[in-house]
Structure 1
Amino acid sequence: MHIRPEAAERHTLAVTVDNEAGILARIAGMFSARGYNIESLTVADVTEDASVSRITIVTSGAPATIEQIIAQLDRLVPVHRVVDLTDTGPHVAREMALVKVAGTGDHRIEALRLAEVYRARVVDATTASFIFEVTGGPEKIDKFTELMREVGLVEVARTGVAAIARGKDPL
């Protein structure tokens, strides 16, 4: 009898922390030491006096692994709260990417056509290249960059995921 391992699931975690030097390194170190992967990481202060930051982490793992990650994050001293937005319910997740595409002729025309379909804005243009700004869910960004590979993708810079729970209540 063969037992199948649980499939990895992608989870978005919102971690509220004291805004102090070294906290990001401690969190990244916790992930690294235990062999967990961080797929996306964004950080910003969220209070008027800049005393509290919100760290949004996208990671993948089996449900037991995600529970372990949350428990270990909760144990770090400057962590106020860890919320698994994926399990909490509906949430909005967005990311922004700058996508550089080089090409002439038909490739240039196709890049512009695809950008229009994906509502990407041209933020820089030369006679040989474009830089597009595209915003949306991570899947949209992935698909846009995949399509741009076919018409001359040169480089991609992504912000990482910003996410927030839907509804009137704060985390």
Structure 2
Amino acid sequence: MPAAAEIESHTIAVLVDNEAGVLARVIGLFSGRGYNIESLTVAEVDEDAHKSRITIVTNGTPMVIEQIKAQLDRLVPVHKVVDLTLDTISIEREMALVKVSGTGEKRVEALRLSDAFRASVLDTTHSSFVFEITGSPEKINAFVNLMRPLGLVDVSRTGVVAIARGAEQM
């Protein structure tokens, strides 16, 4: 009996026309087939050509990932699909705003940890901080987990943005 294929996480960049309904069609492809989206970011990247870049972090077996890429590539407003996990060496970053409430030693420890993680203090009151942290999703997860016992109140994350290293254009 063959071994079950292992679930992998992949970051996929999709260059699309910047027009109404495109994002809904991409998301519809995922939801209609039961594929999960772990992270989704989208923004216009070429104003003159009206192109946007959608960065999707999803997971599945290698066969499922190949199906996702093939189905994305068949959508009409899609110009290019790149699996940044397989096709190239890429840089991934995410930004988060993290609100922590506490006083005394917990407040001091939150500040010490924010310094260690190179998080910026965006807002401060007598009983709370809002930190901004940028880095890999793993770095942000570690920071958030360390803030939990110190009075974590709220977290807002952007989702992953990624780009290939080197001179090639998407």
Residue 8 of structure 2 corresponds to 9
Give TM-score scaled by structure 1 length: 0.96
Between the aligned partners of 1:27 and 1:47, the Cα distance in structure 2 is 19
Q: Tell me, yes or no, if structure 1 residue 93 matches structure 2 residue 92.
A: yes
CA-to-partner distance for each residue in 1:64-115, whole Å, 9 max, x for gaps? 0000000110111000010000001211011100000000111101101110
The one-letter amino acid of 1:59's match is T
Task: Note the C-alpha offset of 1:49.
Answer: 1.9
> Aligned to 1:147, what secondary structure does the other structure show?
helix
Residue 52 of structure 2 corresponds to 53
Task: Note the C-alpha offset of 1:48.
Answer: 3.1
Residue 34 of structure 2 corresponds to 35
Between the aligned partners of 2:119 and 2:77, the Cα distance in structure 1 is 39
Residue 154 of structure 1 corresponds to 153
> Aligned to 1:49, what secondary structure does the other structure show?
coil
Q: How does 1:1-171 map to 2 (within 5 A)?
A: 1=1, 3-49=2-48, 51-171=50-170
> Aligned to 2:85, what secondary structure does the other structure show?
helix
> Aligned to 1:60, what secondary structure does the other structure show?
strand
Task: Note the C-alpha offset of 1:35.
Answer: 0.7
Aligned length: 170
> Which 4+ runs in 1 deviate beyond 3 A?
none
Instruction: Percent identity, please.
Output: 65
The one-letter amino acid of 2:69's match is I
Between the aligned partners of 2:3 and 2:101, the Cα distance in structure 1 is 45
CA-to-partner distance for each residue in 1:10-29, whole Å, 9 max, x for gaps? 10000000111001011111
Between the aligned partners of 2:98 and 2:49, the Cα distance in structure 1 is 32
The one-letter amino acid of 1:149's match is R
**Unaligned 5+ residue runs, structure 1?**
none
The one-letter amino acid of 1:33's match is G
Give TM-score scaled by structure 2 length: 0.97
Task: Note the C-alpha offset of 1:169.
Answer: 1.2
RMSD of aligned residue pairs (Cα, Å): 1.0
